[in-house]
Amino acid sequence: LPAFLYCMKLYDPAKSKSGLLRGPLLVCAFRALFTGTSSALGEKLSSKPGNAKLHDIPRVTPELIAYVAAQVRFALCTQASWRAKDKSFNLIKFYYYILEIITVKSKEIWRKNLLRFWNRYII
């Protein structure tokens, strides 16, 4: 999995999911998309409502995390416009793989802790 998905302060090579989906770039991108660009770097929230409020998103879901992961991966590639494939990398498969990690391939406690992390720090 791409390094941007991990918080390296929490990463433990012996535990594949330690720090996974808590990477600082992922958090900044999520905040920029859903709570406003000024909050992306930890500043106080803007007086204008972010997309989470505008679209009545009360909490973070696995789908939102996977969506932001795919958007960050696209932003880091060299493509000028959004396409499902970047050479051999398929963004749609990546989205569904991240979703599968969260919803199927993880224990419930890990999933709950992950969503608690996102909801506590993001929305």
pLDDT of 51 strictly over 70 = no
Give kind and range of the element (H or E) at residue 110: helix 108-121
Alpha-carbon distance of 62 to 110, in angstroms, equals 12
Per residue in 72-117, pLDDT (tens digit) is: 999 998 888 877 787 789 999 999 999 999 999 999 999 999 999 9
pLDDT of amino acid 96? 98
Residue pair 33/51 in contact (Cβ under 8 Å)? The answer is yes
Residue pair 99/64 in contact (Cβ under 8 Å)? The answer is no
120: Cβ–Cβ under 8 A, 6 or more apart, which residues?
none
Beta strands in 1-123, from DSSP E residues, in sequence order: 85-86, 89-90
pLDDT of 40 strictly over 80 = no
Confidence at 31, pLDDT banded by 50, 70, 90: confident
pTM for the whole thing? 0.84
What are the residue boundaries of the structural domains of the chain, listed by start? 3-121
